Structure formats: structure tokens, C-alpha cells
Amino acid sequence: MSLKQRIQVANEEAFRRMVAADPVLVDVAPAAMVIPGMRDRLILHSGPPVTWERMCGAQRGAAIGMCLFEGWARDAAEAEAMLARGEIDLEPNHLHATVGPMAGTITANMWVWVVENKAFGNRAYCRQVESFQQFGDHSENALAGLRSWRDLWGPALGQAVRSMGGIPLKPLIARALQMGDEMHNRVVASSSLFANAVAPVLAASGLPPAQIQSTLYYTGNHPFLFLGLSMAAAKATMDPVRGIEASTVVTAMARNGTEFGIQVSGLEGEWFTAPSPHVLGLLLPGWKEEDAGLDMGDSAITETAGLGGFALGGAPGILAFTGGTSAQALAYSRDMRAISVGLSPHYLMPALDFEGTAMGIDIRKVVQANLVPVIDTAIAHREMGHGIIGGGLVRPPLECFTKALTRFSEMYSVREDA
């Protein structure tokens, strides 16, 4: 078989595994209990590996927040000093079958969604999505939200999910796509479907009424609730695709606010990074371009799995946000199709005549067509101490893909002098 054929076969296998994925929410539990390799004095973060020295302001702020949340430091100054002295380990979420939005910081006592891919038996984890700490805010207000999740909502939802025997996420996602969600920046429908599903179970849970009420309010009024679930589902979908020899399919796209990194199936274990790009977007009133931080978060795992920006074509609500028209929608779909292995048979877009979302980003096609994937995402401030400041579209740096392609060619091409 020629190399081209080997790649073709490998990519078909990668695609097959993505299609076969069956992500099911099975639990909500503390990271220490479920995340492989979690330990004390470890902060998991979004994006490729990064040192404290190189970490961006918002992610530093989030890390400080985690030190305070865990009680490793009494105040921000002490936390910062500890981190600067290297007393706290910093590792990417992706290395631990985990993903996190924006700064994506996770520590032992952080409760996480637990999603199992029933088709392959692997599990993936994601922390809750909120609007403050993950954007670099380490104030009391921000930490209060983390504590409520740890003490009230996480445990309540965990119990509910376990008593239901788990919640299959694929059918829920498929339904939500047909209701106008794209599973990254627009998850209103899926969040509602989820809230509806757990409400009766929560009501009958026997937990303290205040906790039930608080959790019902939380799930029913959180427009980004489902993002954590869609990220975990996407991660659970993509992990079995890692390490397929000769496959050029992207298994992860992740940013830490300093660098944008991708991982490729046939080049397992390596990161291909480039400086994190600016998000071109709409900023909330009072914020200016120069306030914006660079692209951040593991949420690009949704695009990696064929959702988010890849489902933009069918999401009229988010399309308005992008100022697009139906012609734009068709253009996005055409572009994503051009760089992917195939179309999902499950995730369909009614607005585009039920066309399936493009799935399986192929680094060869990205470089050939000179087209990078579309990601729609939120914007954090450059510096710590702020919450969300806007949202918009971002394109990964082509450099990540050209680096990966060069490496792939080095590893796999037959050389005359070998």
C-alpha cells in the first residue's frame, strides 16, 4: 500500500470511531476521585503545556483562584508566590482525559462531569462552565460559584445522574442541533433539554429542599450549562481516535491563552503549537480590542469532534451573532467539508437540508486548501481579575497544521536514503 492509501485507510478508521462514539453522562464527581493522575498540589489547565512564566494573565488569575479554592494559600499574593516558586504542578487537561473551558483550571476538589464513551469504554471529564473564575477572576464572588458547584450542584447532579443510570448525550445533542444549538457558543436548547431531564429526578431525590431548589435554578438558568457536557462528550469521542498509525486526523485543538496547540492521531503524544491568535469578535460595552486576551480554552474539542464552528451552518441564532447570511452558512459548511474526512450521519443541520456536519479534520486538507477550521468562542481579558468580555470567531494558526504535516512527512514518508 502506498503512503496515500495507508493514510486513507487510517483516516477512515478514525472517522469510523468518531461515528461510533456513544457518549453517556454517568456521574458528576470530585476530580480527585475520577481523573486519572489527579493529586494534591496539581492544577490541570487548558491548552498545550505552559509554564507559570509564560502563562497569560487570565490563566494565572484562574490558577490563583484554584490555590485559594483548595486552601493552599490564604490570599492571592501568597498564591502567586507559591506558583512563581514552582510549588504547584501545572499540567494540560488533555493529558488526563480531561477538558476545561477558558482557563480550564481543575484541582482535586473540583467536581467534574464524567462521560463514558460506551462504544469504547473510555471516560472523559470536564469541569463546570461559569463566567468568572475560568476567565481569571479570583475574587470571593468567583470562588463562591466554585464552592456552590462543589457543595450543592455537583453532588445533587451526580446523584440524579447515577439514579437515572446515566444520560445518553448523543441523541440529546442531535436533537439540540435541530433546535438551533451548535454545541459550543450556543447551547441554550441542549441546556434546557438537560435541565428538563434531571428536574423530576432532582425533585424526587430526597436531598434537602434548599439544595434541590438551588440546583434546579442553576440548571434551568444557565445558558452555557451544556457546554461542559458537550466538551466532555467530544473529548470522550476523540480519545479512542488517538494513536491510529498513519492517520492525519486532528484529535485535539486546545489553547491556553499563550499558545494554540493541536494533536494528531498518527503523531500521538506530540503537540504542534503556535502563538494563540486574537479572537475577532464583539466585545461587551466598555471593553476594547487591546483589552482582549488571546484565544483560550479546551472548548475547541467541540470543533475537533465536528460540532461548534462545524455546525455553524445550521445554527441561525449564532449565525446572526456572526453577522452571517445563509450564503455565509453555506460557505462555512463548504469550507469545513473541504478540510474534513466526511460528514456525520448523526449530527444533522435542518437549515442546510439536514446535511451532516463535517467531521474529522484532516491536516493534509487544511494545508492543501489553505483553510483552517472555524471556531466560535468567548473572549477573556488579557489580565487576571475580570470575567467574560466578549465572544467571536477565531481561526487556529495555520502554522500548527503545517508543523504537524511536516512532522508527519518526516515520520511516515519513505526516504530514498533510508
Partner 1 sequence: MIKKTATLRNRYLDSVFLMQVARRMAASPGIHDASALLGTDANKAVLAGMGYGALDVGPNDLVVALEGEPLAVEAVAADLEAWLAPGVPGAAPAPRTLEEALRSRAADIAVVSVPGAHAAREARAALAAGLHVFLFSSNVSLEDEVSLKLDARDRGLIVMGPDCGTAYLAGAGLGFTNAVRRGPIGLVGSTGTGMQEFACLVHRAGSGISHGIGTGGRDLCDAVAGASTLAGIDALEADPATQIIVVLSKPPGAAATAKLAERLQSCTKPVMQCLLGGKDTLDGAVARTLREVGVEVPTFLRPGVSPRVTGLRPEQRHVRGLFAGGTLCYQAQAIFGQAGLTVHSNAPLHGMPALEVPEQSVGHTFLDMGAESFVEGRPHPMIDGAQRRRRLERELGDPSVAVVLLDFILGTLSSADPVGEVLDILPKGLCVAASVCGTEGDAQGLERQVRALEGAGVRVFPTAAQAAYFCRDVALTLREGS
Partner 2 sequence: MNTALVDLLQGRPVFVNIGVRAFGESLQAAGFEVVQVDWTPPAGGDPRLAALLEDLL
Residues interacting with partner 1, by CB under 8 A? 280-282, 288-289, 321-328, 330-331, 334, 338, 369, 392-393
- Nearest 5 degrees, angle CA 403-CA 267-CA 244? 140
9 binds, among partner 2, partner 1, none (CB under 5 to 8 A by kind): none
Residue 413 binds partner 2, judged by CB under 8 A: yes
Closer residue to partner 2 (CB): 221 or 325? 325
Kindly state the smallest distance separating residue 141's Cβ from partner 1, in Å: 29
Closer residue to partner 1 (CB): 17 or 381? 381
Q: Tell me the H-state helices in 71-185.
A: 76-84, 140-148, 154-163, 169-177
- Nearest 5 degrees, angle CA 353-CA 357-CA 363? 145
Among 219, 248, 276, 299, binds partner 2 (CB under 8 A): 248
First to last CA, the chain: 18
Radius of gyration of the chain from its Cα atoms, rounded to whole angstroms = 20
Do 23 and 232 touch, CB atoms closer than 8 A?
yes
Within 10 A of 277 (CB to CB), how many other CB atoms are there? 16
328 binds, among partner 2, partner 1, none (CB under 5 to 8 A by kind): partner 1
Closer residue to partner 2 (CB): 141 or 406? 406
Which segment (25-33, 249-257, 295-303, 364-372) binds partner 2 by CB under 8 A? 364-372
Residue 5 binds partner 2, judged by CB under 8 A: no
Listed residue (57, 50, 46, 102) closest to 80, CA to CA = 57
Residue 409 binds partner 2, judged by CB under 8 A: yes
Helix axes 209-220, 154-163, angle to 10 degrees: 90
Kindly state the smallest distance separating residue 222's Cβ from partner 1, in Å: 24
Which segment (1-9, 21-29, 229-237, 380-388) binds partner 2 by CB under 8 A? 1-9
What's phi and psi for 48, nearest 5 deg?
-70, 170
Binding residues vs partner 2 (CB under 8 A): 3-4, 7, 248, 364-365, 367-370, 398, 402, 405-406, 408-409, 413
